[in-house]
Structure 1
C-alpha cells in the first residue's frame, strides 16, 4: 500500500506536527511491537488495553504518523514535530480510512463468508485469479471489523482484485463488513453449525451469512452453495449456484478421488484436477472457477491456477507420518458438517489398509452439542478401521458409534491427546492414513507434529 500523508486530513478533525506532504505512508499497524517502514500507527482501545499508551514504542518501530483519539492527552515529552491526526474514534477512523483507500484503488472486490471453507475458498480464489489479475487477499484470520480494514489498507495501489474474507460471531457483523467492502462478487460457501450457540439455529446462521448481500453492488453477483436450501432466497439478485445437485449453474460431476488429489468435471464437459483432498474442497474450488469464468478467465488459465494452489495450514494438510504412514492434518477448526466431510474423504482414499480417525471436542454448538457430536458417528463406517476420540465432548462420538458398530471398528477414548499418543503411534504403518480433526481450542496439531517425520 502507499498513500500520501496528506491523505489523512480527509478523516482528521485537526492535525499537529510537521506534515511533510512529500512523505508517503507505506503501512498501517495497530500493534506497536510490529517493525514497519513509514508506518501509520492507529491506537485501538480494547477492553484490557489502550493503544494510546504505546505510541513511543510504535515510533521506535517505524511509525511516522498516528491517528489519535482527540479525548486522549498527547504523551508528555513527545517530539512536537511528530505528525498527529486527531479523530473522534480511532477504530471508526481506521474503518473510514479503509473505505476511502478502497475507493482510491478501486479493485474488483470478492467477499467470502460461510460456516466452513472460507479460508480455503479464499486461497483457491487467489490461486485462480492471480493468473490474470494482480490480487490481494485476507491474511490469516483478519476477517473482522478490525482485520478487514487492515487487510484493505495493506492492498498494493495497483491491486485489481481484492479477495476479502468475512467472519462473524453474531447478527449484524457480516452486514457491517459487506457495507464497508462493497463487494462486486459475494460468496457464501455453506451453512454449518459454527456459532449456532449465538445464532440459535442453522436458519439463523443462514440469515447472518446472507447479510453479505447488504453491501453488494447493484450490478454484483451472489455465488452460493446451491445444495443448501437455506440459501435459496427470493431476493431479486443475480445468483449463481455451485454444487452437486441438479439445478446448479456450476454442477459438479465425475468425482475421482486419489491420494494425490481429485479429478472432477463441471457441467460434464469442463474437466479439472485439484491437488487437494475432499469433495468439500472440490466445491470450494468450484466457487473459484465460477468467479474466474465470471471475470473472463479461460479453462486453461483456471487449471493452471488450481495446479499451483496452496491452502493455509492445517486444512486437509497431507504429511508423511511415522513408519511410512500418511497424516491428514485438518486440525485448524471443526464443526459437525466439516468433520463429516473430512471423514467421507478418508473413506474414499484408495490404497490404505488402516483408516484411523482422531477426533476431538467441537465448541460453540449450543444446547444440542451432544446430539451434534453423536451425529458424526453416522458416517463412521467401513472402510474406517479405528476411531480415537479425545476430550469429554469427543467421547460422545465414541459412545454413539459403540451403539451401532456393525463394522467392528476399533474404538478408544482418551481424556487428553497426550494419553492417546502412544496407542496412536502403535497403529502407524505404511498402510495407515490418519485424520486429525477438532475445534481450534483442542490444539490437536501438536499431536500431528509428534507423529509426522
Structure 2
C-alpha cells in the first residue's frame, strides 16, 4: 500500500491538499466491473479508441471510490465533492510511477523474464518447483503488458521472499518503463524469435529493446546455444555475471548430455556445475522438454536442492493458462480455474465469476492455500473479505484447515466444508447442483479436475475448443482498421456460427462491441436470458411475436412494406427498427423502385425510430467483383440520403462485412458488421496472418490397428491399401459435422506434429486416418481435426463448401469447451 500523501508527492498536487493525509491506497483498479474494496481503491481512467474509463467515474464514486487518476484535463469533478483526484498527462505513466515507487519498499530477489516465447510457461514451472520453499509473488497468468506488469508488481507483500515477473513488449520504448517497475535483480532471457515483431524494424532492434530490462540486474540467465543472442548479451553487459545452459557447450553451467524419449516419458541426463544428474518428465515434445530444462536450470541457480529439483520435475503439470468452461448437468455452467491458488489469482477468478450469466446463482468451490512464509491470519482476513463481497449463493471449502473460515462467512452464503476432494466427491449428490455457475478454484494437489469431470455433462470425447482470448485479439485487429468514430456490430447468428452465442456475446460485450445481430427472435431471446444488455438486431424477425420482441428489447429489421405496416400498427412511441436496402444481393430489402414509396411511408409513421439503415454486399472478398461492390455502395448512399432527408435525422449507416472492413475503408460509415472475422478467418485473405485461430476441433484415438497390403478400409471398400498401413480410428463422423467429402485422402488431420490423411469414407460416427510412420502414437492421443495446424479452410475446400458450413454443422453432441486467460 501507499499513503495518499506519498502518491501526491509522486504525481503532483491533487484537487485537495494531501500532504498530511494518513489514508492509504491498497488496490489499483482499471476496470470498473472488478471493484471489490471501494474505500481503499484508486481508479485509473484510461481513454482508449473505443472505451473511455472516464465514463465510469460516476458509477464508481456512487459505490464508494474516492481516489481517481484521470488523463482528461477538462473532466469535471464538481459533482463528486469527496473525490481526491489527480489530472495527469497519461494514466499509464502515473500507474507505472506509483508502482515503481512501491517496488522500492522490497529488497527480496526479483526475477525479471523476457524473450520472444516461453516466458509464461517458464515462470509457472519455476513457481511449481519453488513454491514449497518460497513465498512467491508473480504475474497472474500472462499479465506481462504495460498495464499487467504494474498490477502484478503491486501484489508484492511483506511476507514474500521471492518475486518472478515476466515482461512482454510490442514496440520500441516500452521496456524501459517495465524495467523501472520490476527493478529485477536477476534477469532471464528465454529466446529471440519472430513472435510480436511487427513493432520493430528488425530483430536486432527488438533484442536491444528487450535487454533494457536487465540494466540494473547483477546476474543474467540464458540459453547459450542461441549464439547471436548470447554473444550480444555478453557484449551489452560485460560487467554482469552471465550464467547459461547448453546442449552443445560442455563449459556451460548446465550441460544437457542426453535426451531419451520413450512412449510414456522423457529422461534427460545433464551435468550442473560439475555434478551429474538426471530427471524424468511426462512431456515428449521438443518444445516442452526444452522449457523443462530451462525451468530446472533457473530453479537450481535460485538455490533449489538438486535432488529435490529432480524429484519435483516429474510432477510438473502442463500449464493451462486459460479458464476452462463446460456445460454441466442440470443446467449448470462449470468453470475450472485450478491453475493455481493464491489471493491474487482468486481475486481475478471471482471477478470473472461475478460477470457470468446473471440468471444463475454463483457457487465457489475453494481449496486451502499453501503459501510459504505468509502470515496465515493476514491471508485469511483478506480471503474472508473477498468471499463476502462477491455475491455468492453457496461456498464449498475443501481442506483440513478451511473450517476456520466458516464462522466468518456471511450467513447469507450457504457454506459447506470437506477435508478432502475425495470426501466432496463422495457427497456430491447431497449438494443437488441446479441452474448454477460453479467455479472450481484450487491448488493442484486437490485435483479439482476430477470434480470438474464428475460434474460435466456427459458427451463423447470429441470436443470443440473455443479460444476466447483469440476472439479478443481478433476484435483488436479489426478495430485497428476502423476509423475512430466507427462502431462494430457482431453477427452471432446460428449460435455464433456453432460455438455458442451467449458465451461469445459475453466476451464481445466486454470488448466494447456496440450491437449484436442474430437471424431469428429466439436467438435474441437466448442472449437476453443469458444477461446480454447491448442492443440486438433481428435480421429475419417473425412478426407474429411482436409482444415478445418488445419484452426482450429486440430490434427488428424491416425489409418490405407488409412488415413496415405491421410493426407500425402494433408498436409504441419510439420503437426502434432497422431498414434493409437491396443494392444487388437480391435477397431481402427494399429495391430502388421502392425507395420513394418507403420515404413517403416513413414520413407518416413518426412513432417509429429508424435506428439504422444498411445493405448487404454480394461479393466483397472477391477482387474480380470490386467494381460491383463500388456500385452497391453508390446505390446505398443514394438510398440513405433519401431516407435521411425525409426523417430529418441520421440513423446509423452500415454496409461492410468482415471482408469489406479492410478492403473498402471509405465505406466504413457509422458501423461495420463482423462475423467470420471474430473466428480468425478473413475471407478476403488480406489479414489472415494477423488473426488468431479461435476454434479447434479435437478427437481422441479409439483404436490402432495394422491393415495388410491389398485390403480395404471402411464402407464400400474405398480405401484399398497398396502397402501395409497403420491406421487409427477416431470417434468422429459426419453425424458430428465432419464432411464426408473429406475422406479418401482429400483431407489430413494433425497428430503429434505430422499430417495424417483420412482414409476410406467418413462414417456416421467414426473416421479412419493413416498414421503409418508417425512415431510414438498411442490410443488416447489427441488428434486435431482442424485448428492451428489442420486448417478449417482446407477442410472446407476438401468438402467443396465454405468455412461457415463446416463450423455451423458441428453437432450439439460435440461438447464446447471455452478457454480464457
TM range (shorter): 0.5 to 0.7
Please say if 1:36 is aligned against 2:36. yes
Partner in structure 2 of residue 312 of structure 1: 320
Of 231, 250, 256, which residue of structure 2 is paired with 1:252?
256
Partner in structure 2 of residue 13 of structure 1: 12
Once the two structures are TM-superposed, the CA of residue 55 in structure 1 deviates from its matched residue by 1.2
- Aligned pairs for 1:129-168 within 5 A: 129-168=130-169
Of 34, 53, 56, which residue of structure 1 is paired with 2:55?
53
Superposed CA RMSD: 4.8
Once the two structures are TM-superposed, the CA of residue 435 in structure 1 deviates from its matched residue by 5.0
Partner in structure 1 of residue 490 of structure 2: none
- Aligned pairs for 1:92-107 within 5 A: 92-107=93-108
Of 431, 444, 448, which residue of structure 1 is paired with 2:779?
431
Partner in structure 1 of residue 540 of structure 2: none
Output the CA distance in 2 between the equivalents of 1:245 and 1:125: 23
SS in 1 for 2:289: helix
SS in 1 for 2:156: coil
Q: TM-score, normalization: structure 2?
A: 0.40
Partner in structure 2 of residue 240 of structure 1: 243
- Aligned pairs for 1:385-404 within 5 A: none
Once the two structures are TM-superposed, the CA of residue 52 in structure 1 deviates from its matched residue by 2.0
Please say which of residues 88-97 and 297-306 is displaced more in the overlay.
297-306
> CA 1:324–1:171 in 2, change beyond 3 Å: closer, same or farther?
same
Please say which of residues 228-237 and 190-199 is displaced more in the overlay.
190-199
SS in 2 for 1:15: coil
Aligned 8 A contact 1:123 1:309 in 2: no
Aligned 8 A contact 2:29 2:41 in 1: yes
Q: Residue deviations 1:85-125, cap 9 Å, x none?
A: 44343221101011101111233221222222111011112
Aligned 8 A contact 2:466 2:816 in 1: no
Aligned 8 A contact 1:67 1:90 in 2: yes
Q: How many residues align?
A: 382
- Aligned pairs for 1:211-360 within 5 A: 211-218=209-216, 220-234=218-232, 235=235, 236=238, 237-247=240-250, 248-257=252-261, 261-267=265-271, 269-303=276-310, 306=313, 307=315, 309=317, 311-313=319-321
Q: TM-score, normalization: structure 1?
A: 0.68
> CA 1:362–1:231 in 2, change beyond 3 Å: closer, same or farther?
farther
> CA 1:8–1:198 in 2, change beyond 3 Å: closer, same or farther?
closer
Please say if 1:83 is aligned against 2:87. no
Question: Where in structure 2 are there 5+ consecutive unaligned residues?
Answer: 324-338, 340-448, 471-678, 690-724, 731-744, 770-776, 793-807
Q: Residue deviations 1:164-196, cap 9 Å, x none?
A: 111122334334423442322222222333234
SS in 1 for 2:137: strand
Aligned 8 A contact 1:98 1:153 in 2: yes
SS in 2 for 1:97: helix
Output the CA distance in 2 between the equivalents of 1:74 and 1:102: 32
Partner in structure 1 of residue 757 of structure 2: 410
Output the CA distance in 2 between the equivalents of 1:422 and 1:66: 62
Please say if 1:183 is aligned against 2:187. no
Aligned 8 A contact 1:227 1:244 in 2: yes
Aligned 8 A contact 1:123 1:310 in 2: no
SS in 2 for 1:214: helix
Aligned 8 A contact 1:45 1:51 in 2: yes
Tell me: higher relative CO, structure 1 or 2? Use CA pairs within 8 A at least 6 residues apart: 1
Partner in structure 2 of residue 110 of structure 1: 111
Partner in structure 1 of residue 73 of structure 2: 71
Aligned 8 A contact 1:125 1:288 in 2: yes
Aligned 8 A contact 2:136 2:163 in 1: yes
> CA 1:119–1:11 in 2, change beyond 3 Å: closer, same or farther?
same
Output the CA distance in 2 between the equivalents of 1:60 and 1:242: 55
Output the CA distance in 2 between the equivalents of 1:327 and 1:254: 38
Aligned 8 A contact 1:4 1:21 in 2: yes
Partner in structure 2 of residue 373 of structure 1: none
Please say if 1:208 is aligned against 2:558. no
Once the two structures are TM-superposed, the CA of residue 151 in structure 1 deviates from its matched residue by 1.4
Aligned 8 A contact 2:77 2:83 in 1: no
Aligned 8 A contact 1:327 1:434 in 2: no
Once the two structures are TM-superposed, the CA of residue 292 in structure 1 deviates from its matched residue by 2.3
Q: Residue deviations 1:329-368, cap 9 Å, x none?
A: 99988xxxxxxxxxxxxxxxxxxxxxxxxxx9899xx99x
Output the CA distance in 2 between the equivalents of 1:47 and 1:284: 38
Output the CA distance in 2 between the equivalents of 1:361 and 1:423: 28
SS in 2 for 1:269: strand
Question: Where in structure 1 are there 5+ consecutive unaligned residues?
Answer: 334-359, 370-381, 388-397, 413-420
> CA 1:191–1:151 in 2, change beyond 3 Å: closer, same or farther?
same
SS in 2 for 1:14: coil
Output the CA distance in 1 between the equivalents of 2:468 and 2:286: 18
Partner in structure 1 of residue 541 of structure 2: none
Output the CA distance in 2 between the equivalents of 1:121 and 1:69: 36
Output the CA distance in 1 between the equivalents of 2:468 and 2:782: 12
Q: Residue deviations 1:298-320, cap 9 Å, x none?
A: 124434654355513369x9999
SS in 1 for 2:296: helix
Aligned 8 A contact 2:279 2:311 in 1: no
Output the CA distance in 1 between the equivalents of 2:59 and 2:465: 42
Output the CA distance in 1 between the equivalents of 2:71 and 2:154: 20
Once the two structures are TM-superposed, the CA of residue 220 in structure 1 deviates from its matched residue by 1.9
Output the CA distance in 2 between the equivalents of 1:71 and 1:252: 58
Aligned 8 A contact 2:46 2:71 in 1: no
Output the CA distance in 1 between the equivalents of 2:727 and 2:228: 31
Once the two structures are TM-superposed, the CA of residue 30 in structure 1 deviates from its matched residue by 0.6
